Structure 1
Amino acid sequence: MNQKQSLITAAILGALTVTIGAFGAHALRPALEAAGRLDTFETAVKYQMYHTLALFLTGLLQFHWFHPLFNRASLAFLLGTIVFSGSLYTLSLSGVTKFGAVAPLGGALLIAGWLFLALGITKNPAKNKKI
């Protein structure tokens, strides 16, 4: 993902995160509490927001320092968020525990995003340039 795509995607994910979080806190709360899945749903919302912010900051960083690894970081953050939070949302709402087995794959993608970001910063030829 290039810098513009990262920023636009992060903005959309941010709005979606607030919407999902509000929906879960109000309309879905009784059902989530009855199923014992409120904590799982809240974890999905938190990780979605954390990595939405990471995606946004990666997009901003791409304007100052460019490295192809930043594109990989952005993509890993996006895919990791979809897989990790998506599997937890699905688990919370459906009660099908098999979806919980998918979450570690999303977590691995999120970790990869952070590692791509770190590598992109260390390998950047303009690393002495002030941000």
Structure 2
Amino acid sequence: MNKQIIITASVLGMLAVITGAFGAHGLKAVLPAAQIEVWHTAVQYNFYHVFALLFLATLGPVKSGLIKASYYLFTFGIVFFSGSLYLLSCRSIIGWDWLIYMGPITPIGGLLFILGWLMLAIAAFRDKGLLDKR
């Protein structure tokens, strides 16, 4: 297993739990339903890609450049996609209306997620022994 990936996944997993609970208990009373839905989407994608990171960690030491690329793409995808949605959904309560300009960052994060999955798929196709560790 890869220690760096597990530590990253653990920190981002804790963040997903904290933000999920905060959204359900702290923000529900102060944000409109549409903004809560945006927050919820950020939490979901944060969790999905924490699980993807944990899967990468099971592949052993990161020898493949494609697996390493997938790790970085998933990690920065969480930061850009979920991070921008967290901020955008709360801009009205924190009074930072300028955050509306962060909108284009969200699709960049989504593209990073897509590329991360693509790198993982290419790594699996190229290295037939990647998943066969019997």
The reply to whether TM is greater than 0.5 is yes
Q: Among all aligned residue pairs of Structure 1 and Structure 2, give the percentage whose two residues are the same amino acid.
A: 39
SS of equivalent residue, structure 1 residue 62: coil
Superposition map of 1:9-20 within 5 A: 9-20=8-19
Distance verdict in 2 for CA 1:25–1:69, change over 3 Å: same
> Which one-letter code corresponds to 2:15 in the other structure?
L
Q: Kindly report the root-mean-square deviation, in angstroms, between the aligned alpha carbons of the 2 structures.
A: 2.0
Structure 2: how far apart are the matches of 1:24 and 1:113? 27
Segments of structure 1 that go 5 or more residues without pairing to the other structure are none
Aligned twin of 2:81: 84
Q: How does 1:1-131 map to 2 (within 5 A)?
A: 3-33=2-32, 36-63=34-61, 66-95=63-92, 96-124=99-127, 126-127=129-130, 129-130=132-133
Offset, 1:130 = 4.2
Listed one character per residue, the Cα deviations across residues 95-115 of structure 1 (whole Å, up to 9, x for unaligned) are 443222210000000001001
| DSSP 3-state at the match of 1:89 | helix
- Verify the 8 A CA contact 1:62 1:70 in the aligned structure 2: no
Deviation at 1:128, TM superposition (A): 7.6
2:132 match: secondary structure: coil
The residue type equivalent to 1:26 in the other structure is: H
Extract unaligned runs of 5+ from structure 2: 93-98
Rounded Cα–Cα distance in structure 2 between residues aligned with 1:121 and 1:71: 13
Query: Offset at 1:68?
Result: 1.9
SS at match of 1:116: helix
Instruction: Name the TM-score, length of structure 1 as normaliser.
Output: 0.87
